[in-house]
Structure 1
Amino acid sequence: MSLYPSLEDMKVDQLEKVQLRMIQGHQTSSAPLYPSIEPSAPPPYTPSLPYPISPEVNSSLYPELSNYMGLELSSAVIAANMPEYMPQNNQSNNTQIATIAHESRGYAHSMIAPLSGQTLGLQRAEVTHGIREITLCKDASGKVGLRLVAINSGIFVCLVSKGSPAALCSIRFGDQILQVNGVNVAGHSKDQVHELFRKSDVNGIKVIVRDRPFERTVTLHKDSIGHIGFQFKNGEIIGLVKDSSSCRNGLLTDHHLLEVDGQNVVGLKDKEISAIIEAAPKVVTVTIIPSFIFKHMIKKMNLNLIKLSMDHSVPCI
């Protein structure tokens, strides 16, 4: 099963395969008349799944995450507020997702991206889902580039500085920090966790992160006038343009923008987000999350704190 980051990539790949078959069919000798046309291998990329699955348990809707910032993510809550994430048939859907997840472990061989494979935004916007362990280092100023907040006895990321070690390791706004150098941080204050980072060595800082839930990445291609085909207000997608790349690639309304080409846009004004999209290359990768969860995140984190965090004069750890 081939995986593509966008519909445009799939169409180009199919055209290249047809051309290759036609060339091979017209060859009359062992020496090829034309060079073989094969799409170049894309950089490592993990396709986005709507929610993580557990290898051991596939029967529950969200086995890896039943609570997020005090928000219950049961089947009933999801059905009432995010029905697009409810499978019509739990058993068949879980089997399908498990198959995709299994195949995605070999994504270097199955992901085909002749148009968007070389874009930095696609690599920066990689979404893994679930729990992962990363190794951080400190920059020249002795910082990793994070600001944290304590919510419901959990520690969550409210800012990742652009170009920081944390950003390079794909830590994002809304992710939950579970451990720092083997220390469980549940129940700690943000100051206590900040101190753990400050006391850590320059290299080899082991951090276990739980990714924020129900996010997805969508790869879009600008048209001839530089548009990708969606409208947004206060960061929320409110409309899609007919026959645009946004429509073709499954962008959803009632979702909020989190990143554009891996750059955090939470807390930015619409004009600032538009400027980032306009300055982006022809292929743009956006990361979105259901508005139901986003509004809960903002309520818990305090929007004023997020806006303050966007001020680069505010120090990070």
Structure 2
Amino acid sequence: MALYPSLEDMKIDQLMKAQSEVQNSGRASLAPFGLSNNTPYPLTPSAPLIYETSQPAPNAPVYPSLGEYMGLELSHDVIAANMPEYLQAPSNTALVTRPNYAVEPVNKIGALVAPLSGQSEGLKKGFVTNGVREVILCKNAEGKIGLRVQHINSGIFVSLVTKDSPAAQVGLRFGDQILQINGSNVAGYTMDKVHDIFKKCPVNGISVVVRDRPFERTVTLHKDSAGKIGFSFKDGKIINLVLDSSAARNGVLTDHNLLEVNGQNVIGLKDKEITKIIAEGGNIITVTIIPSFIYQHMTKSMSSSLIKGSMDHSIPAF
């Protein structure tokens, strides 16, 4: 069964398949929905596909264990009460280009088909793993990595990634949990101890293992004729949805905070700045959101002046 990044992609793909089947059978006159042979889109487009990259091992959790994440009680009952939509975990996906929709199984899992969204740079840059990864850092000419952390309930979390820093260039983001530095576990360390470790690290080859922020969702949206995607927000928090809009159709939820727009970090930006990024982001917009329940817990111990003044808000190149 095919999977799609948006409802609009699914509908277009279904129409394209129906038209192709009719033409192949020699009964083009019976094409559904009144489509003619002069279809406005190619029958075999070369848009990128999105492939799932991992499959949970038997008896393994579908998403990371979060029972003690930053001091939150994230039991089944708490999630059901505050974030019921996250009882079903999202699949991990990655963007891979395949011509002519050559659907190939990856680890025996199906592919996402994107006839409309596949060419969107925002869809590529907004990709998140929801897993553990290793990055190799270095220091800049000033001997800095461009990273600040906070220790919260025995965990170490990224609270600031400065613009154009080595940390920004390898894709570290606000809210990532640092698990290891050069092979040493950092659970239980203080903020000062971790900063001291980074200061004493060599200039090159600094290995950092991180877990991506949990409970993120990336949603691909399509602007209407008025250039709208269908939700309003205040202080970065989604407060209203427009009936029958792309946001409503594709599962955007209120009481969620915007983290990224087309992969660009918007945490700490003013609403008018975020609105401008959306307006200039093209007809297809990918937003990364997180429940406000978790976002507020992540930010309450962090300096708002640092987030707003020094946070990396550059357009990602990866």
After the TM superposition, which residues 272-283 of structure 1 pair with which residues of structure 2 at under 5 Å, given as runs? 272-283=273-284
Mapped partners of 2:281, 2:3: distance in 1:
24
Q: Which moved more, 1:138-147 or 1:67-76?
A: 138-147
Do the aligned partners of 1:46 and 1:127 also contact (CA within 8 Å) in 2? no
Q: Does 1:85 align with 2:86?
A: yes
Give the equivalent residue in structure 1 for 2:66. 65
Give the equivalent residue in structure 1 for 2:157. 156
Give the equivalent residue in structure 2 for 1:212. 213
Q: Which moved more, 1:204-213 or 1:239-248?
A: 204-213
Residue type of the partner of 1:135? I
After the TM superposition, which residues 29-178 of structure 1 pair with which residues of structure 2 at under 5 Å, given as runs? 37-42=43-48, 55-58=57-60, 64-86=65-87, 105=107, 110-137=111-138, 143-162=144-163, 164-178=165-179
Distance 1:105 1:8, change over 3 A: farther
CA shift for structure 1 position 61:
8.4
Mapped partners of 2:78, 2:157: distance in 1:
22
CA shift for structure 1 position 145:
3.8
Distance 1:164 1:311, change over 3 A: closer
Mapped partners of 2:225, 2:135: distance in 1:
40
Mapped partners of 2:312, 2:218: distance in 1:
26
Mapped partners of 2:284, 2:123: distance in 1:
9
Q: Residues 235-261 of structure 1, C-alpha deviation per residue, up to 9 Å, x if partnerless?
A: 111111111110111100111111111
Do the aligned partners of 1:69 and 1:300 also contact (CA within 8 Å) in 2? no
Q: Residues 198-230 of structure 1, C-alpha deviation per residue, up to 9 Å, x if partnerless?
A: 554555432211122211010011112211110
Give the equivalent residue in structure 1 for 2:259. 258
TM-score (norm 1): 0.78
Q: Which moved more, 1:263-272 or 1:301-310?
A: 301-310
Mapped partners of 2:62, 2:108: distance in 1:
24
Mapped partners of 2:272, 2:237: distance in 1:
13
Q: Which moved more, 1:181-190 or 1:230-239?
A: 181-190
RMSD of aligned alpha carbons = 3.3
Give the equivalent residue in structure 2 for 1:186. 187
CA shift for structure 1 position 21:
1.6
CA shift for structure 1 position 62:
6.1
TM-score (norm 2): 0.78
Q: How many residues align?
A: 289
Q: Does 1:293 align with 2:294?
A: yes
Q: Percent identity?
A: 60
Give the equivalent residue in structure 2 for 1:91. none
Mapped partners of 1:100, 1:211: distance in 2:
14
Distance 1:204 1:45, change over 3 A: farther
Q: Which moved more, 1:205-214 or 1:134-143?
A: 134-143
Q: Which moved more, 1:36-45 or 1:228-237?
A: 36-45
Do the aligned partners of 1:53 and 1:64 also contact (CA within 8 Å) in 2? no
Do the aligned partners of 2:55 and 2:107 also contact (CA within 8 Å) in 1? no
**Structure 2 unmatched ranges of 5 or more:** 28-41, 95-104, 314-318
Do the aligned partners of 2:221 and 2:247 also contact (CA within 8 Å) in 1? yes
Dislocated runs of 4+, deviation >6 Å: 97-101
